[in-house]
Amino acid sequence: MKSTAAAIDPKKQETNQEPKADNQIVHHLLLDGLVTQEQINYSTRVLSKLQTQKSLIQVMKELGYVNDDAIKKALKNNGLSGKLGSVLFELGYITEEQLEMSLKIQSEQTEKKKLGDILIEKKIITETMLAEGLSYQLSIPYASLNEGIDQELFFKTSIKRYQDHLFVPVQKQGNDILIAFADPNDPESITAAKNGFGPNIKPAISAKTAILDTIKKYSLKKEIGKFSAGDESSIIKLVHYIITSAIDTNASDIHIEPLKNNFLIRFRQDGVLNTFKTFPLDIFSAFSNRLKILCDLDIAERRRHQGGRLNFKHEGRDLDLRVSIYATVFGENFVLRVLNRDSQLLKIDDVGFSPKMLERFKEEALLLPNGVILITGPTGSGKTTTVYSCINDLINPETKIITAEDPVEYIIEGISQCSINPKINLTYEETLRHIVRQDPDVIVIGEIRDKFSAEVAVHAALTGHKVLTTFHTDDTIGGLIRLLNMNIEAFLISSTVVSIVSQRLLRKVCSSCVQKHELSLLEIRRLGYIPEDISKFSFYKGKGCSQCNYTGYKGRIAVFELLIINEEIRDALIKMKPSHEIRKIAIESAELITLLEDAIYKATYGLTTVNEIFRCLPRLVKPKQIQEILRLQN
């Protein structure tokens, strides 16, 4: 399927030969002045020398001659003839091998599926990519639906009609109404849309999931308009709607805050609070009572803080919601932490350690027969995920692992897990007294909260156990200092703690709209460098696109600070040296990579941005030169 420069001019093709899609794309780009003939010729020569199977467009994108925006602009008013597989290949969405494999699967099926369905089923493309490819092939617009639709139009016909025929109205365009279809070739769907909106419809295409999500979203908006304090069923629906919306948008926390005239719902997504909706204050009392009933809390108590939890099932997933109620002058603030018990466990190799840091952590901490490993960081920094990834690495038939957690966040077969429940006097103190008597090899303590839990961890390590636990401190050195402040003897800390990992979660640059970012002089100075220090390195940010809701970020990555306790650090601890001296010793003798340095390392690979570094990380010491950071990490 590779192309040649001569094939760009469609007139030079034989009349009985189907024009290749990439020839058409490049031809449109050339006619619109978006590329030059010299660029096309050079890209064709590069393509001919490549061993991997790529399209000409992919090569031109990698050379920086074109980008997705330019391609969309060139194709906006021009379709692509040819079969769907060829179109998807030339757009760079699939490889030739993937296309051949999918066509083979299709040919071997008794009841043949559509090629697009096979590609999605095999996770080769997304529904969005399929819809975009079809939009070019069919010469109809693609509607992303992320920016919403005309609500007034939506309610002009029945929701059942949308569900049965998989379409939604998007907006009015003059005398026409733009309609997004999952399958614009389906005559029944077209007829149903015309029956609902008249003959003047303009078909567009969108991903099936996006259409279903939009139908669900606007159906619930219709229900919200009916909510009233006296209607118990509507309040139940409202609570369910808010929780499911948070789960569907991957929110980690739900904040419910009463104000003077209304109450506000905010979701924490990728570590940042975003406003979801506001509701009238007159339904807040009924709303809060419903939440308290679900959490088995006292509905009559409104003057004191309370805490509880509820189990919630959504689309086959089991979730725990930890609920905190805080009494304020306007009423009770609710914060619900969403914990997915069905989340897939990560391997320690996949949590985000750099290659050398991972190797050191495994060899000099995790695989040692005994000692305390502390995972530190503020709330919501991913400590529990890292602890469980360590457990996942240690599980084997010869090892007994026992945990004390509040609550158990991941259910793992093969280990003994205990969920703390103070209501039946199953407290941390009671559990930790019994945990060593269970003859464990590895002990996991959910969190060091006080002197008692710290002493249990230390003494368990002294008696030959491996102890994994979390701790709330800003950095690795802070973990040591806090243990000292809990009146744990310095010689006990130095002889039992083998490693401390401090971590944070930073928002990840959206891979769909990532682009290079030239740092300003102020940004360079805030990082602790001068322009000459970073001249050979690139930094990145997201431009903003429909895939990331125009934020430039999608998902989060972890950054780490790994401290391996060596003799020099033990000696400094016993001599009770101050934190800045211990940090200096750690940097010089233990090759300590700070949180800031690990974030800079990841920023140079386009994984996060300098703005995230400034927003989230402490800057306690000047970072090493980037070249040195790369040497210590790779």
CA distance 141 to 203: 8
The closest of 585, 592, 564 to 373, measured between CA atoms, is 564
E strands in 400-546 = 401-405, 416-419, 442-445, 466-471, 497-509, 514-517, 539-542
Burial 32-51 (b: 16+ CB within 10 A, else e): eebbeeebbebbbeebeeee
- Which of 115-129, 234-248, 361-375 holds the top average pLDDT? 361-375
Residue 375 predicted with pLDDT over 90 = yes
pLDDT of residue 255: 96
Which of left, alpha, beta for 99 (phi over 0: left; psi -120 to 50: alpha)?
alpha
Question: What would the pLDDT profile of 136-145 be if each residue is shown by its tens digit?
Answer: 888 888 888 8
Q: Determine the 3-state secondary structure of 439 from DSSP.
A: coil
Domain boundaries, the chain: 5-138, 151-215, 225-340, 348-633
Residue 8 predicted with pLDDT over 50 = no
The closest of 409, 385, 407 to 557, measured between CA atoms, is 385
Mean pLDDT, the chain, whole residue set: 85
**Strands 466-471 and 371-376, sheet pairing:** parallel
Angle formed by the axes of helices 284-294 and 232-248, to 10°?
A: 70
Question: What would the pLDDT profile of 398-447 be if each residue is shown by its tens digit?
Answer: 899 998 887 777 778 888 888 777 767 777 777 888 888 888 899 998 88
User: Which stretches within 326-400 are classed as H helix?
Assistant: 355-361, 383-394
**pLDDT category, 496, cuts 50, 70, 90?**
very high
Question: What would the pLDDT profile of 245-295 be if each residue is shown by its tens digit?
Answer: 898 888 989 999 998 888 999 999 888 888 888 888 888 999 999 999 998
Q: Architecture of 225-340 per CATH?
A: 2-Layer Sandwich (3.30)
pLDDT of residue 227: 62
State percent of the chain over pLDDT 90: 35
CA distance 405 to 428: 8
Mean pLDDT of 467-473: 91
Which has more pLDDT, 12 or 260?
260
pLDDT of residue 79: 60
Residue 187 predicted with pLDDT over 80 = yes
**pTM across the whole model:** 0.63
C-alpha separations of 235 from 214, 244, 247, 459 in Å: 22, 14, 19, 51
Q: Architecture of 348-633 per CATH?
A: 3-Layer(aba) Sandwich (3.40)
**pLDDT category, 19, cuts 50, 70, 90?**
very low
pLDDT of residue 115: 86
Question: What would the pLDDT profile of 329-344 be if each residue is shown by its tens digit?
Answer: 889 999 999 887 666 6
At the top level of CATH, which class does the domain 151-215 belong to? alpha beta
Q: Determine the 3-state secondary structure of 486 from DSSP.
A: coil
* Summary count for the chain: helices (H), strands (E): 27, 18
pLDDT of residue 599: 95
Reading the block at residue 470, the tokens are: 């979390």
State percent of the chain over pLDDT 70: 92
Mean pLDDT of 148-173: 88
**pLDDT category, 9, cuts 50, 70, 90?**
very low
Lowest mean pLDDT among 19-23, 181-185, 240-244, 585-589: 19-23
Q: Phi then psi for 264, rounded to 5 degrees?
A: -110, 135
Q: Determine the 3-state secondary structure of 207 from DSSP.
A: coil
Q: Determine the 3-state secondary structure of 313 from DSSP.
A: strand
Q: Are 227 and 281 in contact (CB under 8 A)?
A: no
